[in-house]
Amino acid sequence: MMIQHKTVLREEAIRYLGVLSNHHYVDCTLGGGGHTEAILDRNGTKGRVIAFELDADTIVRTKRRLKRFGARLIVVEDNFRSIGRVTEYGMPISGILYDLGTSMDLLKSSGRGFSFLVDEPLDMRFSLSTERTAADLIRTTRESELADLIFRYGEERLSRRIAHAIMQTRTHTSITTTRELVSVIERAVPPSYCRGRIHPATRTFQALRIAVNDELECLSESLEQAMALIERGGRIVVISFHSLEDRIVKQFFRIQKLKKTGIILTKKPITPSREEIEKNPNCRSAKLRALEILTPRP
């Protein structure tokens, strides 16, 4: 069954993008197309959106849903770290949007092991062209490196216990499915940890997904390129969902302010309303930050 993906901070994203009629925009994460659709509804009959998406199935579904926009929607099957490709289309760009949340469709319906709630192959690749899966990473990474990875990308305080348990398990059996990995994690942590607010596997799964897809480096590289793509007065809007992403965005925006190449439009991050959280609890950690470009880089 397909899981309905709910667009997070939809109206806030459009407001901070400052969408103008017949101007062109980039949506770095097409996903279910909620933000893309909102932009296309407002940027006039001649305005276009260039949207990046890695998952081929997602592209097919979302293009079908948004077919009424015709050639105004341009979909690029690539990682947004390749955002420089927008120059191929010869259009001035007035704004770039990043929604860094992982689509619920991809999490729960892809069969690639993003969720610990279903038993699937331990893959976690956004794109099948990526060589290394999560199972590969677990099988080949040294214990100390795996512990550091889980701590750094998952902010998991029991990372060393979990990494040690993984190493012990893999000496006599492979860990190739989500259920097998969850079982190892649950045995590694104290019983009280399993009764906490979040599932004990949450942070480890986050860490593996980030590592497999090189997510943080992709974001940093893309933001650097974005500054050279947007015309003066244009905007970058980023919706992040965990502190690692938000830290990168916050620091990048501060640097642009110091260099006088941008104005920060959000002194404090914009967060979902109580009503939106009630309708979509998964959005509770979302933070939106926005930057207006003063001097595009040459």
Query: Structural domains in the chain?
Result: 10-105+215-293 (3.40.50.150), 109-213 (1.10.150.170)
How many CA atoms within 13 Å lie on the side-chain side of 127? 14
Query: Taking 70 as the threshold, does the pLDDT of residue 235 lie above it?
Result: yes
Confidence of residue 194 (pLDDT cuts 50, 70, 90): confident
CB 27 within 8 A of CB 50: yes
Tell whether pTM > 0.95.
Answer: no
Alpha-carbon gap, residue 17 to 293, rounded angstroms? 11
- What lies within 8 Å, CB to CB, of 100 at 6+ separation is 29, 215, 219, 238, 239, 240, 241, 245
DSSP 5: P
Alpha-carbon gap, residue 173 to 161, rounded angstroms? 18
Q: Supply the mean pLDDT for the chain.
A: 92
pLDDT in the model for residue 2: 31
**% residues pLDDT > 90 (the chain):** 80
CB 196 within 8 A of CB 55: no
Burial of 160 (0-12, 13-18, 19+ CB in 10 A): middle
pLDDT in the model for residue 106: 60
Residues 53-86: pLDDT tens digits? 998 888 999 999 999 999 999 999 999 999 999 9
Query: Taking 80 as the threshold, does the pLDDT of residue 38 lie above it?
Result: yes
pLDDT in the model for residue 219: 97
SS3 state of residue 235 = strand
